[in-house]
Structure 1
C-alpha cells in the first residue's frame, strides 16, 4: 500500500478543504459583485477610483500584512516571507502610482519601490542558503502553488490579455477602451485574489507546523 511521503503538517483533511473552498468562493462572489457595480456605474468605470482598483489595492495590502505576520512568527519562513511581503507591498505601491504622483511627487512610486526592493534583495541574497531551505520546505504546498498561479495570472496573463492590439483585432470597428480596461483589470483582480488566498494558505501552513512541532 502506498503512503503519503508529505510531512503531516502539509496534509489537509477533506472537511478543511471544503470549508476553505466555500470561504474562497464567497470572497470571489463578493468581489465580483463589486466589479458588477463598477460595470453598472457608467461613471469612471475601472478607473483609478473604481471599486475594482480599490479592491486590488486592498488585497495587496492584506497579503503584505499576512507576510508580516509570518515573518514575525518564531521558526517560520522569515526570508521567504520577507521576499514575498516586499514583492506584494511593492506591487501595492505600484498599484497606487497615480495617487503618489498626484499627492507626493511625480515618480514617487519608483523611489518607494526601490527602497523596498533593494534592501530586501540584499538580505535574501546574503542569507540565500537559508532562503533556499525555506523555499524548499514550501515548494510543494498549496500556498506556493496558488501564489505561482496568482503571479502568472496577474503579471503575465492579464498583461497579454489586456493588450489593445488584441481587443482592436477582436472587436474591430466596435472597439471601446472600457471593454479592454475591464478585461485587463478583472483578470488582474483574479490574480490578486489568488495571491491573497495563497498568503492565507501560507499562514495556515506555518500555524500547522508550529502546532505540530510545538
Structure 2
C-alpha cells in the first residue's frame, strides 16, 4: 500500500513542478516584452509592444469569457458581464486611437457596451445573481480578484508621479514611471487572462461531464430492463 501512495504523491509533485515551469516561462515572456520595449525606447506610446500586448491579452480575455458563457449555463450571465467589463477596459486602452474621431470618444462605445450588458443582467437579475455567486465560488476567482486589485488599485498608486518624483528627485525621468506603471498593468492583464482560461477549462470540463452522464430516461429504461 505504501508504494502506490508514494508513486501518486511523486506524480502530483512532478505535475506541480511542471505547472510551475510553464507559469515561470510565461512570466519570463512578459518580462521579455518589458525589456524589449525599454531597449527600443518605446514604452508610453500606443504602438509600444507593452501596449499591444495589453490589448492582445484583453482581447483574448473577452473571447475566453464569451466562450465560457456559451459552454456553461450556470456561468452564462456572469461570464457575459465579465466579457463586457473587459471589453470596456479594452476600449479604454484604445482611447488615444479613438480620439481621432473626437476627444473622449472612447466613452461612446464603452457606454453602449455597458448598456447592452447591464440591461439583460437586470432583466434576469435572479439568474444573474446566482451566476455571479457561482463565479465567485470558483477557485479561479481568487486569481481574478488579485489581478483586478493589482490593475485598478496597486498600479495606479504605484504609478503616481509624486512617488517617482520623490524617489528620483532632480533626476526624475517620466519614462521610468511609465515603465513601472505599464509593466504592472501588463502583469495584471496576464493574470486576468490566466484566470479566464481557468474558467474556460472548468466550463468545458463540466459540459463534457454533463454530456457523458446518462439521462434520467436512460437510467429508468436500464432499471426496467
CA gap of 1:14–1:205, structure 2 versus 1, over 3 A, is farther
Provide structure 1 residue ranges, at least 5 long, that are not aligned to the other structure: 1-12
Larger radius of gyration: 2
1:179 paired with 2:176, answer yes
1:159 paired residue number: 156
Bigger Cα displacement from structure 2, 166-175 vs 69-78 = 69-78
Q: Distance in 2 between matches of 1:209 and 1:71?
A: 13
TM value normalised by structure 2 = 0.82
Q: Distance in 1 between matches of 2:185 and 2:171?
A: 24
RMSD: 1.8
1:131-146 maps to which residues of 2 (within 5 A)? Answer: 131-146=128-143
Aligned residues: 200
**Conserved 8 A contact 1:64-1:86:** yes
TM value normalised by structure 1 = 0.86
Q: Distance in 2 between matches of 1:25 and 1:105?
A: 42
1:148 paired with 2:145, answer yes
**Conserved 8 A contact 2:30-2:187:** no
CA gap of 1:17–1:111, structure 2 versus 1, over 3 A, is farther
Q: Secondary structure in 1 aligned to 2:102?
A: coil
1:60-79 maps to which residues of 2 (within 5 A)? Answer: 60-73=58-71, 75-79=73-77
Provide structure 2 residue ranges, at least 5 long, that are not aligned to the other structure: 1-11, 212-225
